[in-house]
Amino acid sequence: MCDNNPRVPLTNEVGAPIPDNENAVTAGPRGPVMMQDVWLLEKMAHFNREVIPERRMHAKGWGAYGYLKITEDISRYTKAKALQPGTCTNCFVRFSTVAGERGAADTERDIRGFACKLYTSEGNWDIVGNNTPTFFLRDAHNFAGLNRAVKRDPHTGRRNAQSNWDFWSMLPEALLQITITMSDAGIPASFRNMDCFGEHTFSLYNENNERVWCKFHFKTKQGLKYLTDEQAQQITGQNREYHGQDLYNAIENRAYPRWTFAVQIMTDEEARCHYENPFDVTKPWRESEFPLIEIGELVLNRNPTNFFAEVEQAAFAPAHVVPGVGFSPDKLLQGRLFAYGDAQRYRLGVNHNLIPVNQAKVPVTDNHRDGQMRTDDNYGETIAYTPNSEGWWVPRPEYKEPPLCLKGAMWNFDPKDDPTDDTSRAPGELYRSFDEGEKQRLIDNTVRAISSVTKNIQLRHCARCMQADYDYGKRLAQALSLNICVVCELSALSNEKLIEATGHPYS
Ligand code: HEM
């Protein structure tokens, strides 16, 4: 808009010229301001409405455009056009921290969000993941609790380590994600230096409507790099937008960030025989058992030109998939299918998919009508109701997903009652995969984060660590000057007994 004109005339909100933009209309040179300075009123009123609600979580983030190019043939698994060899799909990616508000520093210890909107030839497909292969919890019932625990304390308005660790340690399934967050990976050196994951189990289905289960991975080509707590603290003191600046500069300098795009595939038969629930988002699929199949490359090569229009107003939704890609019985994913569109209807309005960054690049004929900020022709004079006899808004049964057979009673099942539920396996394996330096930094980071918390919660967390790996629990207990025998005894308890035994502050 008027890009090359250095003398752009100022108009009011409906195009009439503005003669004076600095001197209010007053009654006499020193008199009061007149109501009829309507441009002043308009400016103040618009300014008062410029801040939109921030995302409830992942509020601080940065974005860039690029493309996903598929190089390998996985048509035996999926008919998605965006996943066919040779296909290059434009995309917009937003990286974020989770707990911090819109003004928070980039370099906090936290997981990082990774949301990728693929403008495919079959409609938009959003992969809304993180830089971790798994998540803290597995039931949407607990999601609001997680955010309330890691965000501001209702009494003080400050973040509160006590609530954070109390909540985390109440959930046995959270230990893997806690261990990742407290490890080196808790503060990536940049967005470019981290892997990203879809986390959930999704499904793929091919032209014959045969379904497999799938996890999405993006492996950084810049190498994994991290910041220590000390480095991050120094950077935060100097530049709170460190990761945003790094991403922007890399793209401006044509050092385009790249990730290898890979999938893990599990057949339905394998899923039924799997030793644990393959739809539990707190449990990774071992890469030794379900190897990564590299299928393409994600490249980011263009910065947005307006942060608010393109990054702040971006709206990603796990519910947005395309033919050939589907959901899974993952309980948390099912909860997310509702949450995002709902949040965006509140944050951006019911017509947020008309905002250019969110708009599909194919014709949209959803027959949605009206609503605030309807900025297109609203389908003009076409028939608004369905079904109709004139052939408007006709569904396409050929795009139906294959049916999924389910069995079992309808009930609120607790995964902890599932005899295969081993919440210690993956954190134990991760701990044992660390070298000595990584283990020590994990312990040191955890001690810094948990030291202000009451002893009962420190004990509960140490007991969980010991359940995953004896050395993990012992070292942390030692570093916190806790009694190792007590931690050992606690680690032998069932989840209920452990929570009961650590329910009150120890003296
Ligand atoms: C039931 C569990 C979850 C719920 C209810 C939930 C809900 C939300 C909501 C409401 C937003 C803000 C959306 C907006 O205002 O545009 C959001 C953002 C986000 N969530 Fe979740 N979330 C859940 C779990 C997860 C998980 C497991 C992941 C990773 C796999 C994830 C990744 C993200 C990311 C990356 C964003 C930021 C998207 C952006 O950049 O705009 N969330 N989440």
* Separation between Cα atoms, residue 58 and residue 406, nearest integer Å: 34
- Residue 1, pLDDT > 60, answer no
As assigned by CATH, the class of the 1-50 domain is few secondary structures
> Can you tell me the mean pLDDT for 205-220?
98
Tokens of 385: 């109701």
Tokens of 198: 């879809």
Domain layout of the chain by residue ranges: 1-50, 61-358, 423-501
> Can you tell me the mean pLDDT for 210-237?
98
Question: Cα–chain-centroid distance for residue 413?
Answer: 26
H-helix or E-strand containing 260? strand 258-267
User: How high is the pLDDT of residue 506?
Assistant: 66
Confidence band, pLDDT 50/70/90 cuts, at residue 507: very low
Residues designated catalytic: 58, 130
- Roughly how many angstroms between the first and final C-alpha of the chain, as a whole number? 67
Confidence band, pLDDT 50/70/90 cuts, at residue 68: very high
| Minimal-distance CA residue to ligand 1 atom 23 | 336
| Minimal-distance CA residue to ligand 1 atom 12 | 55
pTM above 0.85, yes or no: yes
Q: What is the pLDDT of residues 145-202, one digit of tens each?
A: 999 999 999 999 999 999 999 999 999 999 999 999 999 999 999 999 999 999 999 9
Q: What is the pLDDT of residues 405-435, one digit of tens each?
A: 999 999 999 999 999 999 999 999 999 999 9
Question: Cα–chain-centroid distance for residue 320?
Answer: 14
* Separation between Cα atoms, residue 448 and residue 458, nearest integer Å: 12
Q: What is the pLDDT of residues 230-284, one digit of tens each?
A: 999 999 999 999 999 999 999 999 999 999 999 999 999 999 999 999 999 999 9
Q: Which of 52, 50, 48 is nearest to 40 (CA)?
A: 48
| Minimal-distance CA residue to ligand 1 atom 19 | 58
User: CB–CB of 473/466 below 8 Å?
Assistant: yes
Ligand 1 first shell, C-beta below 6 A: 55-58, 61, 94, 96, 113-115, 128-130, 135, 140, 143, 199, 281, 314-316, 332, 335-336, 339-340, 343-344, 347
Q: Which fold has domain 61-358?
A: Catalase HpII,  Chain A, domain 1 (2.40.180)
Tell me what percent of the residues of the chain surpass a pLDDT of 90.
98
Q: What is the pLDDT of residues 434-458, one digit of tens each?
A: 999 999 999 999 999 999 999 999 9
Q: What is the pLDDT of residues 79-112, one digit of tens each?
A: 999 999 999 999 999 999 999 999 999 999 999 9
For residue 37, how far is its CA from the centre of ligand 1 (angstroms)?
44
* Separation between Cα atoms, residue 193 and residue 353, nearest integer Å: 31
Q: Which of 440, 488, 438 is nearest to 224 (CA)?
A: 438
